[in-house]
Amino acid sequence: MAEQNLKTLLTLKNLNIWYATERGESKAVNGLDLEILRGEIFGLAGESGCGKSTLITGVMRLTKLPAHVQSGEAIFHASRENGQEQVVDLLKLDPGAMRPYRWRNISYIPQSAMNVLNPVLKVEDQIADVIRAHSSMSKKEAQARIGDCLEMVGLSKKVALMYAHELSGGMKQRVTIAAAIVLKPDLLIADEPTTALDVNVQRVILQELTDIRERLGLTILYVTHDMAVHAQLSDRVGIMYAGGIMEVGKTSDVLSEPLHPYSQALVEAIPDIGGERRRIEGLPGAVPSPLNWPPGCAFHPRCKRMLPICQEKRPDLRELKPGRLVACHLYQ
């Protein structure tokens, strides 16, 4: 990937997505800034409860009460059929106006993708529904496109005529990927889609996603807490904690030289099968409650390198060197 030539596809600015609860606002996404580049595979990492899935539903405009977008911007550069780009703030669109962007410009593979297939419809009919609703393709063109997409994800064209109960878990997952790419979206968002699969199937599907990105020129936002998956798949990675981004950089750089103390703890926790035997130290404490994030840097109660200012002032996400951003007072 020639990173220096990539243009911005999606910019999230000071995004806040909160849940209204009886005990107050639960700030699942809390002042988050992020930029996704066209053509890259961007990995979003972070432990459970850090706000990853809430972030995705917010960008897709799928948040449901009590979740609500409190503030922020999601500036998206959508491709149009005439080859032009249309710049739109996704968060300003009403639900009806968002519809034309779904599947055509942004598609989504949810966490429970293996369970989203309709048991009484053939694969072809389910994917054809998407095509009919969002494009003017003829029936014949749609059938050909569905067959091509099934082959792209490593399945035979014959799978188009099968029902969900005739497919293995890995095949169902591939069908959901085929449906997500059938209209060649600008951005494919994948939320832990291989978590329920065995590691061999997972490895093959990750390779297929990489191949699909090359072939269709897609941008992929891949969300998982699994750093080993990011190491295999992602060009760049963003480390999320307490509803915000702590560090962004090329995946190889972040894994070989993590700068933020939280990223350092995550990377230290990756077992090294070939290396010396060592005890893996877990992070002390637990992820704090989004109802009451700690003041200043939200990581400070668990940070071994805390400075006095860390309890008072939230650090900005700043670029230390080209492409490397860190939100930590140690570098400011």
Which of residues 150, 261, 265, 290 is near ligand SF4 by CB under 6 A? 261
Q: Map the footprint of ligand SF4 across residues 272-311, applying CB under 6 A.
A: 297, 299-300, 303, 305-307, 310
Asked whether position 330 contacts ligand SF4 by CB under 6 A, the answer is: yes
Least Å distance between CB 312 and ligand SF4?
10
Least Å distance between CB 49 and ligand SF4?
18
Q: What are the structure tokens assigned to 165, written together?
A: 């109960």
What percent of the residues of the chain are helix, what percent strand, and what percent coil, each to the nearest 5? 35, 25, 40
Give how many residues touch ligand SF4 by CB under 6 A.
14
Least Å distance between CB 237 and ligand SF4?
17
Instruction: Provide the CB-side half-sphere exposure for 55 (13 A, CA).
Output: 33
H or E stretch at 248? strand 244-250
Residue whose CB is less far from ligand SF4, 229 or 317: 317
Distance CA 260, CA 268 (A): 12
Residue whose CB is less far from ligand SF4, 27 or 260: 260
Query: Interface with ligand SF4 by CB under 6 A: which range of 20-28, 203-211, 280-288, 323-331?
Result: 323-331
Strand partners, 87: 77
Least Å distance between CB 135 and ligand SF4?
47
Asked whether position 62 contacts ligand SF4 by CB under 6 A, the answer is: no
| Residue 153 per-residue DSSP state | T
Question: Of 116, 98, 100, nearest to 57 (Cα)?
Answer: 98
Residue whose CB is less far from ligand SF4, 102 or 329: 329
Classify each residue of 249-272 as buried b or exposed e, where b means 16 or more C-beta atoms within 10 Å of its C-beta: bbbebbbeebbbbbbbbbbeeeee
The DSSP code sequence of 171-221 is: HHHHHHHHHHHTT--SEEEEESTTTTS-HHHHHHHHHHHHHHHHHHT-EEE
Residue whose CB is less far from ligand SF4, 131 or 310: 310
3-class state of residue 26 by DSSP: strand
| Residue 162 per-residue DSSP state | -
Least Å distance between CB 133 and ligand SF4?
46
Residue whose CB is less far from ligand SF4, 7 or 304: 304
Residue whose CB is less far from ligand SF4, 71 or 332: 332
Least Å distance between CB 117 and ligand SF4?
43
Asked whether position 244 contacts ligand SF4 by CB under 6 A, the answer is: no
- Interface residues with ligand SF4 (CB under 6 A) are 260-261, 297, 299-300, 303, 305-307, 310, 315, 328-330
